[in-house]
Amino acid sequence: MTAAALDDVDLQAYFDATIAAGHRIEPRDWMPDGYRFGLIRQIAQHAHSEIIGMQPEGDWLLAAPSLRRKAILLAKVQDEAGHGMYLYSAAETLGADRADLTDKLIERRQKYSSIFNYPSLTYADVGVIGWLVDGAAICNQVPLCRSSYGPYARAMIRVCKEESFHQRQGYELLMTMMGGTDAQRAMVQDAVDRWWWPSLMMFGPPDDDSPNSAQSMAWGIKRHSNDELRQRYVDMSVPQAEFLGVTLPDPELSLDPETGHYRFGAIDWAEFQRVIGGHGPCNDERIARRRAARDDNAWVTEAATAYAEKYS
Amino acid sequence: MSDLTAEGGKNTPSSPPLAGSGPAPGRGRRDWPLYEVFVRGKRGLNHVHVGSLHAPDDEMAVHAARDVYTRRNEGVSIWVVKAADITASSPDEKDPMFAPNGDKVYRHPTFYEIPENVPHM
Ligand SMILES: [Fe+2]
Ligand SMILES: [Fe+2]
């Protein structure tokens, strides 16, 4: 019996059995439309976040305090571009089109992480983004290395290898500043105050308000709930903050001796909805710059196309 | 484009048609072919598929592959090949093409029982 002769019921059963056995789904396998489109949405949103995520730190490339810091930041921002490329590549295995996904981002028909709609006001923000924002991204991404969709899982393995450099360079930058002047320490604390809460929002809405989660978990394209990952992140970050000598801006933060986990205060979900809905401090600026990158550089791609047509 | 593209591409067999969107700019990146990228991690290893990218021609594809996939000594050699030029074994990973392997257990060394005390076997 050939694959073509199998009816949809058999295909669905085979798909379900593959997922249940913990095996990977590969691009040429049959898959339910919901799985395909859910994945495209998730991977595209992830890719867009990497691409837009270059901007807050990219703003400091020309103002880095030393050649060493500039080289590090340049490498980090370039990695984020690479992450976006790995992910668009994975989305294309599902039948999506890269240029089309970029258009959807620019037309605001697809989302990206809310965190990148906040401004980076000082150089300490570069360190705090590396420590907290990349740290949160690592918490989110490590479980995705076991995603049921092969190309996504493989892309995430590459991404995670590179993320640990991102987080460590940020933390090291902050340790350096904390060992500096009072003004530098104040700068770090100010950046922590601004980024802590938005970084908690990176894990998405609370579990009882996360409509797609159950299906995504069943399909193995999501491995842990939003709240579970958020808790893991808080537990990891608190001792790091203590070592650094900064205060996380949450008076309710305390270790629960019974569970061994840190309790934390209420997250402002109204702010999250506002930012994700397009009304954060930098949404317009981020999209405008991405649009300009597409449109202003179009002549480069057109020239390359013309050259290829002439000589190949 | 043939529907026998490799890992990705517009025509994975079970993909429903996707609606395009937005204005299609003239002769830009949208027309660039999809390339699959293979990297040899180090001497002595095979080239391994690492992902894909779009490029206007073969040479640019190699340059882009270097930037995207080998920023940290991940490779000593890169192959790029247009996805449309790859012929895959089947539209589906579970095609019966591989099924006959299952009943040829005699192709594996474990099929043969050799007494423990035969040396070096
Ligand atoms: Fe990244
Ligand atoms: Fe990163």
DSSP code per residue over A111-180:
---GGGGS---SHHHHHHIIIIIHHHHHHHHGGGGG-SBHHHHHHHHHHHHHHHHHHHHHHHHHHHHHTS
A240 CB burial (10 A radius; 0-12, 13-18, 19+): middle
The pLDDT, as a whole number, for residue B100 is 67
CA–CA dist A6, A224 (Å, integer): 33
Structure tokens given for B7? 């890992």
* pLDDT per residue as tens digits for the range A18-54: 999 999 999 989 999 999 999 999 999 999 999 999 9
User: Is residue A36 less than 8 Å (CB to CB) from chain B?
Assistant: yes
ipTM confidence: 0.88
Does residue A286 register a pLDDT over 50? yes
Edge-to-edge strands, sheet with B34-40: B47-54, B34-40, B77-82
Backbone phi and psi for residue B114, each to the nearest 5 degrees, phi listed first: -120, 135
- Measure in Å the smallest separation between the Cα of B33 and chain A Cα atoms: 11
Burial A166-203 (b: 16+ CB within 10 A, else e): bbebbbebbbebbeeeeebbebbbbbbebbbbbbbbbb
DSSP character at residue A108: T
User: Is residue B118 less than 8 Å (CB to CB) from chain A?
Assistant: no
User: Is residue A107 less than 8 Å (CB to CB) from chain B?
Assistant: yes
How many CB atoms lie under 10 A from the CB of residue B86?
Answer: 15
Structure tokens given for A121? 């006001």
Distance from the alpha carbon of residue A108 to the mean position of ligand 1, in angstroms: 21
Measuring CA to CA, which residue among B41, B40, B39 is closest to residue B52? B39
What does each C-alpha distance from A152 to A17, A19, A144 come to in angstroms? 20, 15, 8
CB < 8 Å & 24+ apart, contacts of B40-48: B40/B75, B40/B76, B40/B77, B40/B78, B41/B74, B41/B75, B41/B76, B42/B75, B42/B76, B43/B76, B47/B77, B47/B79
CA–CA dist A54, A76 (Å, integer): 9
CA–CA dist A109, A89 (Å, integer): 20
| B21 → closest Cβ in A89, A104, A307 | A104
CB contact under 8 A, A26 and B93: yes
Does residue A231 register a pLDDT over 90? yes
**Residue A240 CA to its chain's centroid (Å):** 21
Per-residue pLDDT, averaged over A217-243, amounts to 95
More confident residue, A110 or A1: A110
* pLDDT per residue as tens digits for the range A48-101: 999 999 999 999 999 999 999 999 999 999 999 999 999 999 999 999 999 999
Provide the residue-wise pLDDT of chain B in tens; the chain has 121 residues: 334 345 654 444 444 444 444 344 455 667 899 999 999 999 999 999 999 999 999 999 999 999 999 999 899 999 999 999 998 886 565 656 676 677 788 888 888 999 999 988 8
Q: How many CB pairs under 8 A join A and B?
A: 123
Q: Which amino acid is at A294?
A: R
The pLDDT, as a whole number, for residue B104 is 82
State which residue of chain A sits closest to B72, comparing Cα positions: A162
* pLDDT per residue as tens digits for the range A153-165: 999 999 999 998 9
- Measure in Å the smallest separation between the Cα of A92 and chain B Cα atoms: 6
Per-residue pLDDT, averaged over A113-134, amounts to 97
